[in-house]
Structure 1
Amino acid sequence: MRNQKVNKNLKKHTLALSISAVLLTAQSYHAMAADTEDVERIEITGSHIKRGDMEGPSPVTSINADAIANSGVTDLIGLFAKLPMAGQGTFSTQGNSSDNTSNGGSSVSLRGLGADSTLILVNGRRVSVSPFANNIDTAFVDINNIPLAAIKRVDILKDGASATYGSDAVAGVINIILRDDIEGVELSAKLGDTADGGGKEQNLSMVWGNSTDKSSHTFTLDYFDREEILYGDRDYAKSSNQAALRPNDPFATDFRSSAGYPGTIALRSDSTIRMADTFGNDVCSPEDIVGDLCRYDYAPMMTSVPETERVSFLYMGKYEVNDNIRSFIELNGQHAKTRIHGAGSPSFNELFMDGDNINHPFADMPDHDFYQQDLTMRRRMVDIGNREKAVSSNYYRAIMGLQGEVKDWNWEVAYSYIKSESTERGVNGFANTRRTQEAIDSGLWDPFEPSSNSQESLDYIETTTTRVGTSTSKSLDGKISGPVMEMTHGDVGLAVGFEYREDAISDNPDDQFIRGEIFGTEATQANGSRDNIAVFGELAVPVLETLEIQFAVRYEDYSDFGSTTDPKVAFIWQPTNSLSLRGSYGTAFRAPSLHQIGLGNTDESPNLVDNPRCDAVGNINKACEPQEYTAVLSGNADLGPEESASYNLGVIYEVTDSFDFSVDYYNYDIEDVITKDTQFKMDTQGLDPNVVERLPSTIPGDPGEVVRIFDKFENIGNITTSGLDIEANYALPTAIGDFKFTYVVNYVLEFEDSRPNADGTMRIDTQAGDFEQPEVRWTFNTSWIKDDWNATLAVNYIGEFKQDASVATEGMSDIDAWTTVDTTINYIGIENTTLTLGATNLLNEEPPFTYHDFMGFVNSTHNSQGRFAYVKASYKF
């Protein structure tokens, strides 16, 4: 049955591939060497065997330093977010708030398979993961650690590569190649600002290098500073009451928090019996009262893009020991500071007031139903101020090694040490729940009359939080490659090697978090370590003069979950000088991250529907509607790896000297995906008190309001995806200058994320075209060169997709496609100087509107920066 499905899909995809090959065109590395013996052999991304041709069996897109500069971006995530093959799971500092767990971090997700399934390399070697996982569970390499000034090019390998590089290379590999060929000094300065406020940037860099017969040195120093953007700075996101911002839209929602100020009063015995606080001197504003709740507009105070400052340095050095041996060293360091703001901490029925409390709001109202009743409350801790987090990070990377030649063989051995340290401090607006409850009980602090409270009481309640994380990676690797035998059509290339690696992470909040004394803010706790050893081999066999087949295999043994062996076979066939066909098949794996194994009990706040309560008593307290609940998530030491198989088929065709294109079809099948499904846990075990803790209720048959849900990571679900990558180049020389047109598109044919049902069957949780899953992304770039002037114009397109299923309603439109335009103009008429004027999102296009969250746009797919205009000057001497 599975084979029939595969054959059927293959026919469909082959037809689509054939049609697309005729209709669409694309860019590739295409480089044909007439005599490979005269070409220096180099190692390309995707292979350990050095070769004379940049075009290998696997699909690789390369972006050089000039293209990066002309894109107008100021950091790597700005570049990667524009890649058509980047998908859901790509994240930046945008959207960082006081609730985030990876503040200041950024990473990319190829194919929408997750940042933890995209392997990030620097000069072909691994980089340690951030000590702070994203969204609690996603281990990622923080690409903010590499400044643009230090980059020679970025290679993007677009198929599974575990046979070559090991774990995490499920969706592909991004290899960041650093500059090591500078002679002299390059200075550059860049200043930019947004059209709508916030987000001002400045970037200063210096690159120095020199070389002699025996040595070479390259040193990079970079400074980057960006101002904060608040949601309040954007008209479409300045209020969490989207219904008020869009009064003519019947589907727009009021997202204001149910934890208001001074708040909502409820019975402790049954929190569904409640009323907005309209008693005494401090009352909820009439415009904030909705039904029986006092609501709060938190959007204006929340960070959309955080304030960030980074200072980075890199050093690349080589020294020739003798004619056949060279030593090399790579040093990289960065200090970064990030500041994030959020509204005052919310409390949802965590605080209580006894019926005989001195500050009881109904103590003098014997006829009131709440007279002498124990109370609870939903309130916002505005009295101690808005929340503010300060994150300080240090990153160190050192590589030392030797490389050389023995006859026709190349060898290399190196030791790597990488360390990331981060400290996150809650410096304002954080309340300690134990002390807050003590202050209520003693009468020191009155939650219902905040204007009457003394500074002493506020100081007693407010606290400073601390979270410290460290991630280290130590490795020793070695490899040797060269011709193993001669065949009719060339030498058989062989590469063999090994890698031993020790990884460790620690992510520890202070004791207040561990004791559960900080409400309104998520925090993680995770500790773990592992070591693994890998051996690998690769063969490149010239079967014909025009056909090369690559075989690769890698065996890895992990100290905490076992071993895995992953093979790969690939080919490139060049029947004519202008046409190449390529393909690959391989298996890959992703080891469970140390965060997923070693996570301690950690609070998160998912939006869920309480279906068991809804089925029992209906929509009491919006049980039948999605709302925020507390979930206690923990790691799972019994996790196994995710396993996958993928294949790629492609064509590269040089139609003329000025026109070439490539089309690649890809297909991934991933099993045993590591994730959690808290909604599934709620639906299937929502009445189990060991899984879902609830408050008591006086309503017959009512299981009660949810207090918290207990969940953990598991190997559940499968993901399958397939699609087309199309890239093209066309060069057009004219009397008014030389033009070059580049078109890159990713079209998703299939994407299915399957999760288990209660009866053991599988359901499709997400598919192509669903929320955050656009089927089409493309960029079209035009460059022009004339004398001392050159310019670029890029059009970026993200296709439409459906609204979030949790809010989608009949008659509601899909989320629109988004098209933005970037441009640069460069002048090089002054000796050794380049002057640049540019803009990203030149037309200041607002992100498409969505109904799923308070900010009115999908901040994981679109962004709120708006038009960003900049000037840049570079000088070489």
Structure 2
Amino acid sequence: MKIAVAAAAVNLALTSSVVVAQEQEQEQDSIEKIRVTGSLIKRTDLAGPSPITSIDADQIANTGVTDLIGLFTKLPISGQGTFSTQGNSSDDTANGGSSVSLRGLGADSTLILINGRRVSVSPFAKGIDTAFVDINNIPLSAIKRVDIQKDGASATYGSDAIAGVINIILKDDFEGVEVSAKIGDTADGGGKEQNLSLMFGTATDKASHTFILDYFDREEVLYADRDYSRSSNQAALRPNDPDAVDFRSSSGIPGTIALASDPTNRIIDEFGNDTCPAEDIDRANNLCRYDYAPYMSMFPDAERLSYIYLGNYELDDDMRAFVEFSGQNSKSVVRGAGSPSFNELFMSGDNANHPFADDPTHPFYGQDLTMRRRTVDIGNREKRVDTDYYRAIVGLEGEFGDWSWETAYSYIKSESVERGVDGFPNSRRIQEAIDSELWNPFEPSSNSQEALDYIETTTTRIGKSTNKSLDLVFSGPIAQIGEMDVMMAIGAEYREEAISDNPDEQYLRGEVFGTEATQANGSRDSTSIFAEVIVPVSDTFEMQFALRHEDYSDFGTTTDPKISFLWTPMDTLSIRGSYGTAFRAPSLHQLGLGRTDESPNLVDTARCNAVGLGCQPQEYTAIFAGNPDLGPEESTNYNIGLIYEVTDNLDFSIDYYSYDIEDIIDSDTQFVFTNFGTDSSVVERLPTSNPSDPGEVVRIYDSFQNIGDLETTGLDLDVGYTLQSDMGDFRFSYVMNYVLKYEEYRPSVDGGRRLNRQEGEFEQPEVRYTAAMDWSRDVWSASVAVNYIGEFDGSADAGFGDKTVDAMTTVDLVVNYVGFDNTTLTVGATNLFNEEPPYSHHDFMGFVNTTHSGQGRFMYAKATYRF
């Protein structure tokens, strides 16, 4: 029976979602039982009821991507919350990290496994609270295949599997030596890449060993390297668009001078020797602006060195040992413009450096002053992130009678050090330098090197994440229905997790402005027991039942069931379905976050309504803290699908999915700001002489709550067609994800709930697809793929909900030649026609960098030699 769908999700035909992940080896002409992704039971048949897509190493190579996140961003099933290193900046809290969000349900709701076992999360959370597995830790050269389970799987794997599971299977059966080298470059500057890998392995009747070394280096891409993002003044870049916004910072150099008693009473610094450049003067708002975009990283410089060893040892006829040791050192360099200050600094009226000390006729004479001022004089900001990742698995597996068993101990650790090495001022020392008249903020050219050295600081942030676990699983037959076995698996797992994310004392004292950092510390342990039963009701109908109970040390217990079926009424037709519950435990970052400064872009609705100020989005300081009283997110999901082999050459599958998630953990700072903007306990403001003006914001206080609900439904479609001809063999494929409903709810002021976001709105395209063609003939092969991301509405939060962000279509091409002995030569390009990301009004870079890529055309050449 053939029920495979040769559909591809990334410039190739992928194995159909009905063909589950498998490790198939033949031994003495008999097929071993194998464990498939989505099930704990070893079995000889390969098909199961869960919708799973498998992508092997050759298919990944044909995409032209150089890391895992490049692959996942092309998958139609990947949605909002998938993030790469694009957009890393001096304000980011997870620089150098990447992760994937299946169906747009969040990176923390997508469970990442390696060889079926968990991975420790990054010690540095994304956006201060999103715990994620950094998939940059896994080099492509080590991957045998990637399995994607597209329905909830907490009944099998526990927490975080709300959206599904990505199981990364490593190469463990390689024999020989293989060397591979790849170079590539972008069309518009920056982003040059080099990749070198070495793999060698041996195998005997009793043991096998696989070693992998991989080196990856990519130079940075700055926003200055792209015409559409080279300036934060999008209004100047797009003079024909009356709605384009000037996003230049209100904190310039030498800046804007204001009265400390009333910061709204301000003037542009055009006095003395150092004055605001003419091109940065904003007369309408009395501001000296600053164009920060050219100095910011679009993609940071990245260097990664990885090593992996996998070994299997036969101890006797019924017992084997396996080990896995892997590690990686990764380095990233992230850049940003000089640090801004927004009325945090003051100068007394009798200071000798007072700009109007010699002008008693000026209204500011003798008055205490504050300022909007950017410390460009100590350099632009530069962060260096150094991460060491280690993973060790030691286990045993074997058989007794018809039953098999497996047990393993896992230890995974990730340690990161983030250092601010340039451009970071210490606010306490700056104020001291102003008060002592050592440093003059209004005349930068007059300041000595001694003064600059005094106000500049270096910052340090140290993070560590560990995951230790011990698991045991038994599986085997418990009964028979006719000649078919009823199979069962039972098992238990004990897991300990811990994270620490600690910036230096300067951060904790709030002395480093112009950047963000988190502080979080926490640990937990959990114990789980689980069971699974597969019942072959008939030759054509199979049921699968799973149940998992988990006990967490920090929030209690949860029990999650799942039931699924596979019905094959004809050899060419199968129908599958599943129903289950899933959960996500609150992350240790969300529970244990200490005082953390964020700089979100927000609209000051209260002040805008009162006096017409603060109506445009700009950065504000938001103070976050963890919430130890959080509960888990809980989900109910179901899937129903059909797989049909129309002819020997044409087949397709279609699946309908539904998720209903409750008690989503999140924060909504704009909601807090809008609805509690005049509450002094929530929003702290500077006093003003105008009784109608609530005043400029100093800081906003916020935290995490179980505040959200989410309902989403959609369709997954895979179509595959093969054609053999005199011109070669062709494979055509089309893979689409269509979101029927995506409704995210948040609390409203009246105590009910409001619709916060839905399908088709900002960052929520309804349609994504990849259409691909593979061709092979003799020693040549080629693949071409068209990747489509549909249009969506502009950002309503930024005031552009009436705009549309257009669809984006890119084309990838790869050509392989195997005419030389043991050698494969490859040339290719991603985004072959150098398509620019569609324009969005919402932010300074002019495009939605959470959805679209600014890399542009990337051309590469690769050579692989095996001996």
Shorter-chain TM band: over 0.9
Aligned to 1:530: 524
CA distance in 1 between counterparts of 2:30 and 2:565 reads: 23
In 2, Cα distance between equivalents of 1:501 and 1:27: 33
- Give 1:287's aligned residue: 279
Aligned position for 1:16 = none
User: Which residue does the alignment assign to 2:668?
Assistant: 677
Distance in 1 separating the partners of 2:60 and 2:855: 19
| 1:808 CA drift (Å) | 4.2
Which of 247, 250, 257 is the equivalent residue of 1:265? 257
Shift of 1:417: 0.3
2:309 aligned partner: 315
8 Å CA contact 1:399–1:414 kept in 2: the answer is yes
- 1:286 Cα shift? 1.5
- Provide the C-alpha distance between the structure 2 equivalents of 1:439 and 1:689, rounded to a whole number of angstroms: 31
AA at the equivalent of 2:16? S
Corresponding position of 1:803: 794
What secondary structure does 2:43 align onto?
coil
1:793-830 per-position Cα deviation (integer Å, ceiling 9, x unaligned):
011000000100023458x5411100001111100010
1:508 matched to 2:502? The reply is: yes
- The yes-or-no answer on 1:437 pairing with 2:431 is yes
- Give the deviation of 1:99 after TM superposition: 0.5
Point out the more displaced range, 606-615 or 835-844: 606-615
Structure 1 residues 425 and 162: CA distance shift in structure 2, 3 A: same
Give the aligned partner of residue 157 of structure 2: 165
Could you list the per-position Cα deviations for residues 356-378 of structure 1 after superposition, in whole angstroms to 9, with x for gaps in the alignment? 00100011111111010000000
Gapped regions of structure 1 (runs ≥ 5): 1-24
Aligned residue number for residue 687 of structure 1: 678
Which one of the candidate residues 624, 631, 636 is aligned to 2:615? 624
Query: How far did residue 27 of structure 1 move?
Result: 5.8
TM-score (norm 1): 0.95
Q: How does 1:208-247 map to 2 (within 5 A)?
A: 208-247=200-239
- For structure 2, which runs of at least 5 residues remain unmatched after alignment? 1-12
Question: How many pairs are equivalent?
Answer: 847
Residue identity matched to 2:104: G
Superposition CA RMSD, Å: 1.4
The alignment status of 1:410 with 2:404, answered yes or no, reads: yes
What SS does structure 2 have at the residue aligned with 1:271?
strand
- Deviation track 1:152-209 (CA, whole Å, cap 9, x = no partner) reads 0000000000000000000000000000111101110000000000000000001111
Matches within 5 A, 1:439-518: 439-488=433-482, 490-518=484-512
For residues 713-755 of structure 1, give each alpha carbon's deviation from its aligned partner in whole angstroms, at most 9, with x where no partner exists.
Answer: 0000101101001112111001010000111100000001100
The match for 1:19 is: none
CA distance in 1, matches of 2:718, 2:666: 33
Question: 1:646, 1:239 → 2: CA distance?
Answer: 45
3-state SS in 2 of match to 1:672: strand
1:134 aligns with 2:126: yes
Cα deviation per residue 1:614-641 (whole Å; 9 max; x = unaligned)? 34x221xx23332221100000000000
What pairs with 1:61-460 in structure 2 (closer than 5 Å)? 61-291=53-283, 292-460=286-454
TM-fit CA distance, 1:702: 2.6
What's the counterpart of residue 8 of structure 1? none
Q: How far apart are the structure 1 equivalents of 2:587 and 2:568?
A: 41
Contact 2:466/2:499, CA 8 A, preserved across alignment: yes
Aligned sequence identity (%): 68
Aligned residue for 2:648? 657
- Find the residue that maps to 1:249 and give its secondary structure: coil
How many Å separate the matches in 1 of 2:759 and 2:163?
A: 16
**Preserved contact between residue 27 and residue 661 of structure 1 (Cα < 8 Å):** no
* CA distances 1:50-84 after superposition (whole Å, capped 9, x unpaired): 12222211000010000000000000000000000
In 2, Cα distance between equivalents of 1:426 and 1:700: 41
CA contact (8 A) 2:604 2:615 kept: yes
Name the CA distance, whole Å, in 2 between partners of 1:421 and 1:721: 36
Distance 2:416 2:715 in 1: 39
**Which residue identity is paired with 1:748?**
V
Distance 2:124 2:798 in 1: 30
- For residues 122-164 of structure 1, the C-alpha deviation after alignment (integer angstroms, 9 at most, x for no partner) is 0000000000000111000000000000000000000000000
> What is the letter of the counterpart of residue 232 of structure 2?
S
Could you tell me how far 1:382 is from its partner in structure 2?
Answer: 0.4
Deviation digits for residues 261-307 of structure 1, max 9, x if unmatched? 00000010111110110000000011101120000000001000000
1:29 shift after superposition? 4.9
Contact 1:232 1:300 in 2 (8 A): yes
Following the alignment from structure 2 to structure 1, what is the Cα–Cα distance between the partners of residues 792 and 32? 47
The answer on 1:771 being equivalent to 2:755 is no
- Counterpart CA distance in 2 for 1:38 and 1:146 is 33
Matched residue type, 2:152: G
Match of 1:852 among 812, 834, 842: 842
Q: Is the 8 A contact 2:663 2:706 kept in 1?
A: yes
**What is the SS of the residue equivalent to 2:343?**
strand
Note the C-alpha offset of 1:700. 1.5
- Answering whether residue 782 of structure 2 is matched by residue 791 of structure 1, we say yes
Deviation at 1:26, TM superposition (A): 9.1
Distance (whole Å) between structure 2 residues aligned to residue 506 and residue 788 of structure 1: 53
CA distance, structure 2, for counterparts of residue 654 and residue 152 of structure 1: 27
Q: In structure 2, what is the Cα distance between the partners aligned to 1:196 and 1:258?
A: 30
Instruction: Please state whether the residue corresponding to 2:479 is helix, strand or coil.
Output: strand
Per-residue CA deviation, residues 466-496 of structure 1 (Å, 9 max, x unaligned), is: 0000000100001010111111251111001
1:435 is aligned with what amino acid?
A: R
Secondary structure of the 1:70 match is: helix
Contact 1:489 1:544 in 2 (8 A): no
Distance 1:428 1:544 in 2: 69
SS in 2 for 1:824: strand
Equivalence map 1:610-621=2 (5 Å): 610-615=604-609, 617-619=610-612
Matched residues in 2 for 1:563 and 1:69: separation? 43
Q: Once the two structures are superposed, what CA deviation does each residue of 1:823-873 show, in whole Å capped at 9, x if it has no partner? A: 111000101000001110000000101000000011111111100000000
Query: Are residues 1:840 and 2:833 paired?
Result: no
Write the distance in 1 (CA, Å) between the matches of 2:152 and 2:756.
24
The match for 1:736 is 727
SS at match of 1:243: helix
SS of the equivalent of 2:188 reads: coil
SS of the residue corresponding to residue 673 of structure 1 reads strand
Who is 2:581 aligned against? 587
Match of 1:56 in 2: 48
Is 2:537 the counterpart of 1:547? no
1:816 matched to 2:810: no
Could you list the structure 1 runs, at least 4 aligned residues long, displaced by more than 6 angstroms after superposition: none
State the distance in 2 between where 1:203 and 1:58 align: 36
- Give the counterpart letter for 2:79 in structure 1: G
Write the distance in 1 (CA, Å) between the matches of 2:616 and 2:387.
40
Most deviating of 395-404 and 606-615? 606-615
CA contact (8 A) 1:29 1:55 kept: no
Q: Residues of 2 paired with 1:74 and 1:758: CA distance?
A: 47
- 1:827 is aligned to 817
Partners of 2:567 and 2:404 lie apart in 1 by: 26
1:4 corresponding residue in structure 2: none
Secondary structure of the 1:316 match is strand
The aligned counterpart of 1:12 is: none
* 1:679 alignment partner, SS class: helix
> Under a length normalisation based on structure 2, what TM-score does the superposition of the two structures give?
0.96
Deviations 1:353-406 (A, max 9, x none): 000001000111111110100000001100000000000000000000000011
Matched residue SS, 1:481: strand
Deviation of 1:38 after TM superposition, in Å, equals 5.7
Q: How far does residue 30 in structure 1 lie from its aligned partner after superposition?
A: 4.9
- Counterpart Cα distance in 1 of 2:798 and 2:516: 24
Query: What amino acid sits opposite 1:537 in the alignment?
Result: A
SS of 2:628's equivalent?
coil
In 1, are the aligned partners of 2:18 and 2:48 still within 8 Å (CA)? no
The residue type equivalent to 1:468 in the other structure is: I
Question: How far does residue 429 in structure 1 lie from its aligned partner after superposition?
Answer: 0.4
Tell me if 1:28 matches 2:16.
yes
Aligned match of 1:7: none
